[in-house]
Amino acid sequence: MVRSPKATLTEAVRHPRSLDLAVVIVAIAAVCSSGFVMTRVGQLAALDQQVRQLESFGVVITDERYEALRAMVPYRPMVTAAVIIIGWPVLWLLSARAVQWLGRRMGRGEATFQQVLTIVVHASAILAVRAIVAAPINYARESLGGATSFSIIMPAFGESTFPARLFGAVDIFIVWWVVLVALGVSILYQTRTLPIARWLFGAYAGGAAAVALTQALRGGV
């Protein structure tokens, strides 16, 4: 998927198969993500992230609330692994169903659910790469989250400003994933990649902008 995505996705469409790859992706992501929060650095980073997230939404962190958050830190590796092992396959299934429905509504022809799911899962191989890349960066930064966001390469804005929140909400590897899904769908439905990518990017950018705006407004209160 990194060196020859078009050829890989073309072959995946011809011979749809996703279960074995899905298991590998989930295993790699779960081990890297939960492994980091098992370390002392990761646990402190997880606690700090929870505090900052709550404060960004206007929640006052009292001593009692802080102690409650700290008591939950030892369970963070298990929660992180569960979110990946359960959540990712659910999102893949929902995404594949949505893409298949849109393809039918747009009159792009018939495609099996297995073909669409195969595209979504193959594109998600890049998320396993993301987990591998993010773990050492997070450890070096002693921070959780944002290791592969655009805020890393565009750090000029103030942390609490809307542009900083927006760049922090847009992940480089998620953008890459969107491109790969758009490419796979264009191969499946034999259409151009750009219109599909525009729709997918629009949905992703809209969600990121909504999160960034909410946090920026809350931070200014």
DSSP H stretches of helix in 73-161: 76-82, 88-105, 113-123, 125-141
Q: How much is the average pLDDT of 107-114?
A: 78
Mean predicted confidence (pLDDT) in 189-193: 78
d(CA 144, CA 180): 26
Q: Kindly tell me if the per-residue pLDDT of 126 is higher than 90.
A: yes
The better pLDDT of the pair 78, 100 is held by 78
Is there a contact between 11 and 188 (Cβ–Cβ < 8 Å)?
Answer: no
What global pTM score does this model have? 0.80
Q: What is the pLDDT of residue 90?
A: 95
pLDDT at residue number 33: 92
Q: How far separated are the first and last CA of the chain, in Å rounded?
A: 44
Please choose, from the candidates 33, 14, 24, 205, the residue with its C-alpha nearest in 3D space to the C-alpha of residue 132: 33
List, in order, residues 6 or more apart from 154 with CB less than 8 Å away: 167
Mean pLDDT of the chain: 81
The backbone torsions φ and ψ at residue 15, rounded to the nearest 5 degrees and listed phi first, read -130, 75
Phi first, then psi, for residue 152 (nearest 5°) are -70, -40
Segment 209-218, tens digit of pLDDT: 555 555 545 5
The dihedral built from the CA positions of residue 47, 49, 53 and 59, taken in this order, carries a sign that is positive
Predicted local confidence at residue 221, as pLDDT = 41
97 vs 219 pLDDT, higher one: 97
The pLDDT tens digits of the residues spanning 142-188 come to 888 777 876 665 554 545 555 556 555 678 888 888 889 888 888 88
The dihedrals phi and psi of 171, each to the nearest 5 degrees, come to -95, 135
Residue 148's pLDDT is: 80
pLDDT in tens, 24-47: 999 999 999 999 999 999 999 989
Across 16-30, 98-112, 135-149, 159-173, the highest mean pLDDT is recorded for 16-30
User: Tokens 């590796």 correspond to what residue?
Assistant: 77
Q: How far is CA 99 from CA 1, 104, 140, 189, in A?
A: 20, 9, 38, 11
Give the rounded percent of residues in the chain with a pLDDT score beyond 90.
34
AA letter at 79: V
Strand partners, 171: 149
